[in-house]
Structure 1
Amino acid sequence: MTDLPRLGAALYLREFIGITGMQGFVRDHDRDVEIRDFTEIGALGGNVWPDIADRARQLFAGHAGRIGIHGPFWGFTVDMPDPDIRKIAQDRIAAALSALIRILDGKGGGHMVLHSPYTTWHGFNRWTNQCDAAGIAERTHATLAPAVRMAEENGIEIVLENCEDRDPAERVALAASFASSAVRVSLDTGHAHYAHGSTGAPPVDAFVRAAGAALAHVHLQDADGVADRHWALGRGNILWPGVFAALGELPVMPRLIVEMADARDILPSVIWAEGQGLAV
């Protein structure tokens, strides 16, 4: 037995099937899984998503690890000002939640990742006459209200993931403003490291501590502080001992999901983390 946290994996279904050793890696230790297929353009239209959901349910039948999805994000933000486009965003998000409910067969316990509405422009214009913090929060509530109700009714957590966020506390406060157990916080380590290196945000471990007990989910990826790399752990220059130390201070360990640009880097990342005594 080990007290080290166990890492999960973000995967397209084709990667779960096609990468040598991936099924055993996931199944042998009931690792948490995040299905990425619903991020693709067209995946949430018409009768496409039910077929993907049914395939996922079959592939993970009997799997005891937790299952979630990455929600849609291409072409819209969760703080859409145009009500017509907002309706499209709501429909996409609702379809993704419906897919997750179908995969889980109504049992709950899943998560859906949605991207933060906060941009670099907003970060640099905070506290100026161009600041739109109140508007961003208001529009995000307007967009997500139906999804939050749906998540509450089905035992699912929507987790808000940092992308360009410079202030790690702002997204945490936004999640808390919903006053719902169905809205919590996600951290992407590479996004945080990019923001630290390129836009003056605090380091990754500060993002962990800013979220505290609200942190339900983490995308683990390495980076260089310049761009969104999604490199194998150990390839970039994130200070991982500090990140895992901060994670270890939390009352409950979040879902730790390795999210790679090349899913073949998932297994080497876990081997590296184990070799460093950080996770298994």
Structure 2
Amino acid sequence: MSSEAPISAVGFCTYTGKGNFETLEKSLHTIADLGANAAELSLYGEEIISGGRIIPGRAERLVQITDQFDLRYSVHGQIVSNFMDHEHLDYQKAVVRAMLELCNRVEAGILVHHSGNAPMPAFSRIPDLDRMERDALAEMAEVAKGYGVRIALENIFAVADTEYRQTPEQVGETVRAIANPNVCGLIDFSHAYIESTRLGLDWREQIRAMAPVTGHLHVHDSFGRPYSMSKFYHPAEATALGIGDLHLPIGWGDIPWEEIFEELAFLPDTMLIMEITGERFVNEQADCLARALKLVEHANSRRLAA
């Protein structure tokens, strides 16, 4: 795949060793050996940033590891990243600045950033929350521009009706409102499925609305069932019940992948990352990669022929 293709790279996220770089290196070896051409570095768990500052020695070790592999990289920022978090907004921005610098050091073109959340406010306050997020993203986009990085705003789901989250369509509207080439959308298909089920929305319409501004994809399977149970003693129990954000191999859930990639078009040079780690599903990753490459081949040939 070339960068001229609509979807130009396919790979997996790394599983985090929680600061153990040997685990990160092993994860990248697995991804490269499978024949993928991309990896998303789960740097939120690697203890490289302290108080908003990069730890120099650990950043140098990170670069030594990533330089070993012929892979295109993206970086997954903090899981708790939240530009609707007024109390900690300065801290949040400091970490994003550091993550963007790490993107530059490992030559990653994308920083994944979760869309915001807040305790469900009075409806009159929702525009203020949306504006706070847009303003922060616009500010960070100028930092990203200096590094040649796009911030990919990911749609998430709420875990309760007391939490405010934007729908996938609204995340797309946020990207359009910022109107900066260094900010794009990130469709997480399973997240969209879960949130749309929770709210009674048509999830396919939601991702259709978001797709034109989307430059990064997270692929993993589920049944789109919100968290009606909050406690599982083992992840396999959630899988068995089909409840929640399962991060399953392609085909284990009921997402109609072929229909989606037949229909949707994304921004040029989009990267597809399967959030299906070798830590859980090492025996399934090769099949997932083969399936994803077929989806991408079909989608790219259709778009290039159009």
Q: TM-score range by the shorter chain?
A: 0.7 to 0.9
What residue is the counterpart of 2:284 in the other structure?
A: 268
The 3-state SS of whatever aligns with 1:110 is strand
Q: Does 1:158 align with 2:151?
A: yes
Counterpart of 1:233 in structure 2: which amino acid? I
Question: Which of 249, 258, 269 is the matching residue for 2:274?
Answer: 258
What residue is the counterpart of 1:17 in the other structure?
A: 25
Residues 10 and 33 in structure 1, CA contact (< 8 A), matched pair in contact too: yes
Q: What are the equivalent positions in structure 2 for 1:205-220 lying under 5 Å apart?
A: 205-220=204-219
Residues 169 and 209 in structure 2, CA contact (< 8 A), matched pair in contact too: yes
Q: What are the equivalent positions in structure 2 for 1:121-200 lying under 5 Å apart?
A: 121=120, 130-164=123-157, 167-200=167-200
**Long gaps (5+) in structure 2:** 158-164, 226-243, 298-306
CA distance in 2, matches of 1:256, 1:218: 5
Q: What are the equivalent positions in structure 2 for 1:242-253 lying under 5 Å apart?
A: 242-247=259-264, 249-250=265-266, 252=268
What residue is the counterpart of 1:99 in the other structure?
A: 102
Residues 153 and 171 in structure 2, CA contact (< 8 A), matched pair in contact too: yes
Residues 15 and 263 in structure 1, CA contact (< 8 A), matched pair in contact too: no
Residues 194 and 225 in structure 1, CA contact (< 8 A), matched pair in contact too: yes
Task: Specify whether residues 27 and 53 from structure 1 end up closer, same or farther in structure 2 by C-alpha distance, changes over 3 A only.
Answer: farther
Residues 233 and 272 in structure 1, CA contact (< 8 A), matched pair in contact too: yes
**Long gaps (5+) in structure 1:** 123-128
Task: Specify whether residues 42 and 53 from structure 1 end up closer, same or farther in structure 2 by C-alpha distance, changes over 3 A only.
Answer: closer
**What is the count of residue pairs matched by the alignment?**
262
**146-155 vs 165-174, greater mean Cα deviation:** 165-174
CA distance in 2, matches of 1:238, 1:17: 31
What residue is the counterpart of 1:126 in the other structure?
A: none
Task: Specify whether residues 16 and 234 from structure 1 end up closer, same or farther in structure 2 by C-alpha distance, changes over 3 A only.
Answer: farther
CA distance in 2, matches of 1:182, 1:266: 34
CA distance in 1, matches of 2:166, 2:95: 27
Residues 270 and 279 in structure 1, CA contact (< 8 A), matched pair in contact too: no
* TM score, norm. by length of structure 2: 0.73
- Percent identity, aligned pairs only, is 20
The 3-state SS of whatever aligns with 2:133 is helix
CA distance in 1, matches of 2:32, 2:77: 21
What residue is the counterpart of 1:231 in the other structure?
A: 248
Aligned Cα root-mean-square deviation (Å) = 3.2
The 3-state SS of whatever aligns with 2:67 is coil
Question: Which of 81, 89, 104 is the matching residue for 2:86?
Answer: 81
CA distance in 2, matches of 1:101, 1:86: 23
* TM score, norm. by length of structure 1: 0.79
